[in-house]
Amino acid sequence: MIRIVIAEDEEWVLGTIGALLSLEEDMEIVGKARDREHALELIHDMQPDILILDIEHLLRDGPLDVPECRLLVLATFPKEGYLERVQATGAKGYLLKDSPSEELTSSIRRMMMGKQVFSSKLVEKKEPALYEIPHAPGPVKKNYFTMIMDKMKHPTG
């Protein structure tokens, strides 16, 4: 079971990502934090495998010294210089929040295999051979998370 802590300012994003990742058979959300202190407390107490961190936390508060847990950073927009700042923290992943939902789940699994994963939109100007760019290896098997996120992206009309 992959144990995950999520640190995110926006309550609805925090709740949505947490609820949807909990639907994955191999993932468990062990904590949700809205600030740095609570995130550090959860990491210490719950010992997660992965910390999903909003980039605004990283830029505002600086890097978290948590070598026992892999860091996946989420950003709303691909801004110049962010990739380098994220890499300098030792993060194993950096994705955009509008990435396909299966990219998030597959990235978490790849990080657990020791790979670094970066959204193709974030590395297209860089040397792509240096990074694992998440993509589905063949037909995508839809899971609950993917189906719900896909429905959220389309207006109900």
CATH of the domain at 11: 3.40.50.2300
Please tell me the distance from the alpha carbon of residue 114 to that of residue 98, in angstroms, as a whole number: 24
Q: Where does the pLDDT of residue 134 fall: very low under 50, low under 70, confident under 90, or very high at 90 and above?
A: low
Domain that holds residue 88: 2-153
**How many other CB atoms sit within 10 Å of the CB of residue 149?**
19
pTM: 0.78
Q: What is the pLDDT of residue 138?
A: 47
Q: Are 108 and 27 in contact (CB under 8 A)?
A: yes
Instruction: Say how many domains are in the chain.
Output: 1
Tokens linked to 120: 């193709």
More confident residue, 64 or 26: 26
Look up residue 110 and give its amino acid.
Answer: R
Window from 59-63, 77-81, 120-124 with minimum mean pLDDT: 120-124
More confident residue, 30 or 133: 30
Within 8 A by CB and 6+ apart from 84, the residues are none
The winner for highest mean pLDDT among 50-54, 82-86, 99-103 is 50-54
What average pLDDT is seen over the chain? 82
Look up residue 134 and give its amino acid.
Answer: P
